[in-house]
Structure 1
Amino acid sequence: MEKTSKGRVKVGIYLCAILMMGVIAVSSNIANIIGAFPEANQTTVITYLISIPCLIVIPMTIITGKLMGSIPKKTLMLIGVLLWLAGGVVPFFMDSLNMILVMRIVFGIGLGMVQSLCAALVVENFENPNERGKIMGNMTAFQMLGAIIFSLVAGNLGTISWNVAFLVHLMAIISLIATIVCIPYKKPEKVTETGEKVKFKPTGMMWVWCIAFFVYMIAGQTYSNSASSIITELKLGGSAAAGYSLALFALGGLIMGFIFGKILSACKRMTLTVGCFLLAASYLIMTFAPNLALSYVGAFVCGLAFSICMPCILTGAGSSVDQASSEMATSIATCLQNAGMAVCPYIVTPAGAALAVSAGGKLIPNQWSMIFAVIVVVILAIVFMIINMRNKKAA
């Protein structure tokens, strides 16, 4: 592929990646939406707007991985972005929470397709592992950029009216144009040069990477579930302060995404281990921060850690199988990423509550949840440290 063509493909991938955290686009406007539907409780509104789309993403990543074997990725990305756009914007015209739920399901389908396809397009168009890793890092940066833009724009639109915030999803028009102009049209290779059908061939190491993503996100999602609550419960700040924490998290992820290639070159096989230890450090900072400023430092460092670990795991999963199987490998990894996010509150929250009781109430449950997540991510770091040391010794 020529240099100019590669550059165009990168632009297309990056401008689609800004949609990958789109599920949080209206999260800053949740309170206004709850007020618009007094007959529904807070849990129902959050479930309809946030939880359901996240659950839909899980099977869609696998389905999309299957579809890539017979439908060009450009076609699938066009469909995914259009579903994302329609599912996001149409609720602006609705006054029924049940109809909004239907559109959020459509939105979840589109989101699942976009998440799978962004990673698969990197794997398909860039074979060099170092280049692939750098692009995965940049992709994460644009993902975080999208999170910042969505949070700020939707928050301001929500001050006009609860439904106006949904218009933030019009940003997908940029992604739609980028898909049409920049993403190459390639027909899937159904057969090999010998005439045999291309089959998915998973490897043991692929499953290690995919399970690692599941475990990592159980710990990683704890930031969203517990960090903001710690700020308010310890009276370090109010809900606005918690919102700034999310913005600083995304800023950290944005910055690290752009310099990830240099981190990868410096740390090589140990990059994921470094990222995991950095995440653990950020959690400890936020858990024991005596003031809001230090809590913000922890959130920023947390964003840095995320943009190290996520591209590492996706690149590892895609590179641990042959080229023909790499697309499905990244889809499975993305599926387990979302599964880890979904089960996080059912594992980490009870663990935090149990530790709080056993410790005699010295820390609040959300602080113990963060500490439990630290234990999980440190174990993951040690496991990959051992794997890399053995691989280095074998080599």
Structure 2
Amino acid sequence: MSEKTKISAGQIGVFVALMCMYFIGPMHSAVNVASQDLMNVYGVDASAVSYMVSITNLLEIPAALVIGLVAGRKLSYRVCALLATALVVVGGVPTILGSALPWWGIMATRCILGLGLGCFMPIVMGVISLMFQKESVRATMMSIASVCFNVGMILLTSLAGILGAISWNLAWGIYLIALLPFVMCIFLLNPKNVPAVPQEDEKGEKVKIKLPVSGWVLLVLFLGTIIMSQSLFNLGGVSIGAVVGNPAVIGTVFSLFSVGAIASAVLFGPAYKFLSAYAIPVFWIIGLVGYVLWFVAHATGNVVLFYVAIILAGFGTNTMTVGVPMLLSTFVAPAIVGAVMGFSYVFQNGGGFLASPIDQVVLSIAGTDAILSSVWIFNVVLGVILLLGMFWVAKKANAAKKAEVAEK
């Protein structure tokens, strides 16, 4: 916002609409609060309910990839945003119909919801990149988006629980919030507020979807950090449970992951202004310390250390969630930012899916008796390798920036 960046009232409205989309973004699993009621009402088992939740997450991946390829190039961002938010609103239909909707109808709305939620990241990050050309400003805006994402995760999950306590179908009401950005995008997401996507490069040639090697390396590093994060959530309960058997304590510890995530989102913008791309590896060091302390907490039985460890882990992991889209947006032309954001989302969700089988491979080699030490040692070694890769990418990014400035 500094350096005389001028933003009109309409652009502020667009940004608010985008933040509303990101606020809803992490809510594919919030209806877990109604799992038992669903089983009672529809006569389905726990595996069916689990599939109902996971199918949404699964469909977000192809949706993000496809919308990234067409947003701003084949279809305007306005059309894409309206389509995405409309799909999410359809996902909230069970709020109104309740048990009048058959089980296959519940599943259908969940699939539609997944397609809508999957479109959010390429749209939000693509429009932010067009509106805020200055890197330091763009980093701040992406940090704000990450804050909205994590705050939304906390508040809307709680709201879904409150609504679900009244009636199971009301938990789906959180998806109807998408009506707000839908209406705002109708009136505000237009050429007056959002610059047109340039279809040609400086040489007058059509912009092709092409990501440099450092960009692909960054995506692989992102995949690795998400694998580590999901591994923590997969086995973290076991490690805490071995020290304290109180479920409330375990739940409280895990909730602090979002505290660390919000802290990194708030600090990333200012840090990027001074450290540029090096902000990512510097912040990741903090996350890596968190993973080490997690194992120390388990080994020593120090409950307080669990709290500290997960805050630091959340800080480091969310740095990648903010930093990867930011850095990718500097690697490519504005015309294909949406596309690379789709790639980013695929790698992000892919890490979540790969964590469990990778943990199983580690355990099959080391043995289940060493479940915590083997998996945590693997993750720490992986984290150090990722750190080295991050410094390499940061060095390449800064060198490219200096070369670009020298040419001008």
Structure 1 length-normalised TM: 0.87
Aligned ranges 1:16-55 → 2 under 5 Å: 16-40=21-45, 42-49=46-53, 51-55=54-58
**1:127 maps to 2:164:** no
- Structure 1 range deviating more: 254-263 or 126-135: 254-263
Q: Output the CA distance in 2 between the equivalents of 1:236 and 1:367.
A: 20
**1:14 maps to 2:14:** no
Aligned ranges 1:37-116 → 2 under 5 Å: 37-40=42-45, 42-49=46-53, 51-68=54-71, 69-90=73-94, 93-95=97-99, 96-116=102-122
Deviations 1:53-110 (A, max 9, x none): 1111111111101221121112211110111121134366344433211111101100
Contact 2:22 2:148 in 1 (8 A): yes
Q: Output the CA distance in 2 between the equivalents of 1:7 and 1:263.
A: 24
Q: Output the CA distance in 2 between the equivalents of 1:392 and 1:194.
A: 23
Contact 1:220 1:373 in 2 (8 A): no
- The amino acid that maps onto 1:232 is G
- The amino acid that maps onto 2:137 is E
Contact 2:94 2:169 in 1 (8 A): no
**1:232 maps to 2:237:** no
Percent identity of paired positions between Structure 1 and Structure 2: 21
Deviations 1:142-185 (A, max 9, x none): 00011001221112222223322222223323333443454344
Match of 2:232 in 1: 223
Q: 1:180 to 1:220 in 2, by over 3 A?
A: farther
Contact 2:82 2:182 in 1 (8 A): yes
Contact 1:236 1:291 in 2 (8 A): no
Contact 1:236 1:292 in 2 (8 A): no
Contact 1:209 1:333 in 2 (8 A): no
Contact 2:17 2:180 in 1 (8 A): no
Match of 1:324 in 2: 335
Aligned ranges 1:244-263 → 2 under 5 Å: 244-263=252-271
Q: 1:97 to 1:268 in 2, by over 3 A?
A: same
Q: Output the CA distance in 2 between the equivalents of 1:161 and 1:393.
A: 57
Quote how far apart the aligned CAs of 1:329 are: 1.6
Match of 2:406 in 1: none
**1:297 maps to 2:308:** yes
Q: Output the CA distance in 2 between the equivalents of 1:265 and 1:190.
A: 29
- The amino acid that maps onto 2:283 is G
- The amino acid that maps onto 2:152 is G
- Structure 1 range deviating more: 177-186 or 221-230: 177-186
SS in 1 for 2:92: helix
Contact 2:91 2:109 in 1 (8 A): yes
Q: Output the CA distance in 2 between the equivalents of 1:197 and 1:270.
A: 32
Match of 2:143 in 1: 137
**1:175 maps to 2:157:** no
Q: Output the CA distance in 2 between the equivalents of 1:387 and 1:258.
A: 23
Quote how far apart the aligned CAs of 1:234 are: 4.1
Quote how far apart the aligned CAs of 1:265 are: 3.0
Structure 2 length-normalised TM: 0.84
Match of 2:405 in 1: none
- The equivalent position to 1:280 in structure 2, one of 288, 291, 307, is 288
| Structure 1: stretches of 5+ with no match in the other structure | none
- The equivalent position to 1:375 in structure 2, one of 351, 376, 381, is 381
Contact 2:95 2:171 in 1 (8 A): no
Q: Output the CA distance in 1 between the equivalents of 2:283 and 2:362.
A: 23
Contact 1:26 1:166 in 2 (8 A): yes
